[in-house]
Amino acid sequence: MEMKNGNFYIGGIAVSELAAKYGTPTYVYDEQKIRANYRKVSETFRKYYPNFEMFYAVKSCNNPAIVNILRQEGAGADCASVNEILLAKSVGLEGEKVMFSGNFLSDDDIKQGLESGVIFNLDDVSLLPRLLKFGKPELLSFRVNPGYGKSNVGEYVTNAGPNAKFGIHPDKVIDAYRMAKEAGIKRFGAHMMTGSCITDAEYFPFVTGLLMDIIGKVSKELDINFEFVDLGGGLGIPYKPGEPALDLEKAAQLTAEMFKKKSEEYGMKPPQLKLEPARYFVGNAGWVIGTVHAIKESYRKIAGTDIGMNILVRPAFYGSYHHIYVDGKEDHARKPLGMSGQLCENTDFWVKDRELPEDLSEGDIVICENAGAYGFGMSYQYNGRLRPAEVLVNNGEAFLIRDREEFEDMIRHTHVPERLLS
């Protein structure tokens, strides 16, 4: 996003023009920014470890247009559910270009996952006997909890360590692979959840070392050749102004060095290195634009907008920060103001005290940045407020990639017994 003469532009199109054409609230994504983000990670890691592949974590932003952009760039798909596998398949990704990393799977999940022929990444050893009842995957991975996790966006998204629900305890990993090998499975990988939104470059080699110590012992004792080791995601972006960005060069170099060192230490044939970024690809390439509909003077001044917690839930859910801009007023005098959505919940009062233009008024267009990851994908219907539109911009052109929901979408798939209609 850039500012020209006091007004904001995304992908060469004025935010005011996007709001006028598509309405608000609307998610807007910059295609060229997504492509640039992908290429930056790919080129940086390949420089230090050429046998490198990335999967896009579909859960972060599941619009098929976004998934297609990353497929064109070379990414596979990391899928948390069968429906995400079907989405990946619909854009041409299948087989070993798809990783199925669900957790607490049902029998139907397992059966459909096997039928899809994708890489099975089991979250716990307890799932293996149930999996084997229905068949054997060609390539099996286990998600390992290395005993340590880190997050820059709160305890709820610390995806490894003692308080996380994900992955196998280190003491049980060797038993998991032993059971799988004895069952006749011949091809193996390993996986972990690195963390969430990490901007400390030195954390990545540290946690890579923890994982490699666990699976290195497995490889040595069970004579297993790991075809790949997947470090998950975790590449972070700065959300607050002035927050330092991840030194990607340093993270890639140190991680590759640790990966090679541990592979040699345990006599492993060097596995393929995989990553599953999502936030790093799409987070700073997405914005949600909204309109100020009312100004309330009460115990404090509150601007009421159509960006509620049902549109962008992260601030209410995690206490996350998203910077807010006001189109045409960024250089105006500022004062502490509140900002709220339109829902009948006080948690929708998601900005209590933020320096915003003091002349903020009805009709102004507001822009929340870094909304491309875990934005629309976590939106929901509530209070009759429906999900927003999604728009993709590319070098001065805009494309509607998801229609705004309407009333019919709110009652779709509902059924009223005949006796209630009289």
344 flagged as catalytic: yes
Catalytic, out of 61, 79, 344, 368: 344
Task: Report the alpha-carbon distance of residue 297 to residue 307 in Å, rounded.
Answer: 19
What residue spans of 49-167 are helical by DSSP H? 64-73, 82-90, 107-116, 127-134
Distant-in-sequence, close-in-space partners of 131: CB < 8 Å, separation ≥ 6 = 110, 114, 120, 122, 137
Do 164 and 110 meet the contact criterion of CB atoms below 8 Å apart? no
Nearest to 211 by CA among 181, 178, 237, 189: 189
C-alpha triplet 399, 238, 389: angle, nearest 5°? 25
Total residues belonging to the chain = 422
User: What is residue 372's three-state secondary structure?
Assistant: coil
393 by Cβ neighbours in 10 Å (0-12 / 13-18 / 19+) ranks as buried
**Which residues have a catalytic role annotated?**
344
